[in-house]
Amino acid sequence: MAVKTMKMGVFGGSRGTGLYDSILANNAEIVAVCDANELHRNTAKQRLGDDVAVYADFDEFLEHEGMEAILLTNYFHEHAPFAIKALNKGIHVLSECLANSTMAQGVELVRAVEKSSATYMMIENYPFLIFNQEMRRLYREGSLGKLIYAEGEYNHPVDPKDDNVVTLLCPHSKHWRYQLPRSYYITHSLGPLVYITGAMPVRVTAMPAGTPATANCEGISKGVPEKACVITCMNDDGSAYRVMACSGFGSGESSYRICCEKGQMENLRDGTNRLSLNYSHWYVPENVSSANTCYEPVLQDKDIELAMKSGHGGGDFFVIREFLTCLRENRRPEFDVYFATTLSSVAILGHRSMLKNGMPYDIPDFRKEEDRVKYENDTLTPFYGTDGSEPTIAGSNREYYWATEEGRTEYDEYVKQYKEKINK
């Protein structure tokens, strides 16, 4: 039986460009691209051909005839309002992280999904890294026993002296990266743990790490002094997680550790897909030759060659494939709106915990109306709004790191001078 071709649109032509090939490789057609930046619209035409429609206005984009699903790759903190508009029109949504940047947005998003005939899924590609897929297989086959504790780290430092990268990632002082709390970019550290084990967070507490003594911050997050936020979660099965969201220490890496009753496993921090698998010697399974092994898993997948051509270690391909498969099979995604808003709640409430020196917060279950009501008017945000509205909560637990007008002016002047320099 032939696989149905899905007609998709892409909102956000910068990050979206990196996903075009994965969409096309999964037998979907990109019929429209929307971006306010003319350069990105022109790039879409060059990459996809003149038949693709391009739009500068999102509402006009949603009216594109025959478009069945959209991919949201716009700014990190602005996905929910656009997802809700699409869902209200019965258009399927695959949304980048973060699903919602305020608690009220999370409530509104869940309500929109429940009312819509369309499917919602959040892009979280790090679970599909080869070693994470292998750890999911190992955990779920049962030989390691019950989960006790797990760790996840997404460490992504940026060279503060690389003016090109800094100004590209944070082009002005009201950009979301300028004052991004360390807990918010959480899905790459927390998502894989949930994917591997199935344990969902129900309470969060967090503390800052690496806060400098002075206000002289380097790099793209000038409004955030912490190098990391140490987040701990109590889970619905009695286990615990310790995660670091987007940290900025040492060398960049992503690492995960799963500790269970009978053994533990983790990927090695050496830039490969290798795993360390260790059992207590009295729990070694009969079909395992040693209590301690280290190996590089081979993923048995019919599309492995296609996947390895995509970004994030194949994760971009696999997450697009999963979304399209769910649509074709009329199946609920694993990374559904409840998964998405739970991870977002850990990010948002983890930050509030850090602001209050580790005070615990219960994670709401947005399946329950009583939990939704508690947060339906909670619009606190560390980001500037598209309407120019100012942040309503600090990005750091240091009072003087409410980004000052002086600091913003200094950063914008630095960007201006760099652009003038390279344009000479």
**Domain 6-122 is found in CATH 3.40.50.720:** yes
Q: Which of 22, 37, 55 is nearest to 128 (CA)?
A: 22
Written as six digits, the tokens of 369 are 């109306």
DSSP β-bridge partners for residue 85? none
The letter for the amino acid at 171 is P
Q: What is the pLDDT of residue 405?
A: 79
Q: What residue ranges do the domains of the chain occupy?
A: 6-122, 126-310+334-375
Exposed / middle / buried, residue 198 (Cβ in 10 Å: 0-12, 13-18, 19+): middle
The CATH superfamily holding the domain 126-310+334-375 is Dihydrodipicolinate Reductase; domain 2 (3.30.360.10)
DSSP β-bridge partners for residue 147? 260
Q: Do 351 and 246 contact (CB within 8 A), yes or no?
A: no
- Considering Cα of 38, then 39, then 41, then 45, what sign does the dihedral take? positive
Query: From the DSSP assignment, how many helices (H) and strands (E) are in the chain?
Result: 13, 15
| Cα pseudo-dihedral 192, 195, 196, 202, rounded to 10 | 90
What CA–CA distance (Å, rounded) separates 191 from 80? Answer: 18
Q: What is the pLDDT of residue 215?
A: 47
DSSP strands (E only) in 146-252: 147-155, 201-209, 228-235, 240-247
Query: pTM for the whole thing?
Result: 0.95
What CA–CA distance (Å, rounded) separates 49 from 42? Answer: 10
212 conformational bin, left if phi > 0, alpha if psi -120 to 50, beta if neither:
beta
Per-residue pLDDT of the chain (424 residues; tens, 9 = 90+): 456 789 999 999 889 999 999 999 999 999 999 999 999 999 999 999 999 999 999 999 999 999 999 999 999 999 999 999 999 999 999 999 999 999 999 999 999 999 999 999 999 999 999 999 999 999 999 999 999 999 999 998 888 889 999 999 999 999 999 889 999 999 999 999 999 999 999 999 999 988 664 444 555 566 677 888 999 999 999 999 999 998 888 778 899 999 999 999 999 999 899 999 999 999 999 989 899 999 999 999 999 998 888 988 889 999 999 999 999 999 999 999 999 999 999 999 999 999 998 999 999 999 999 999 999 999 999 999 988 898 999 888 665 455 677 878 888 999 999 999 998 8
Written as six digits, the tokens of 193 are 């743990």
Angle CA 14–18–22, to nearest 5: 140
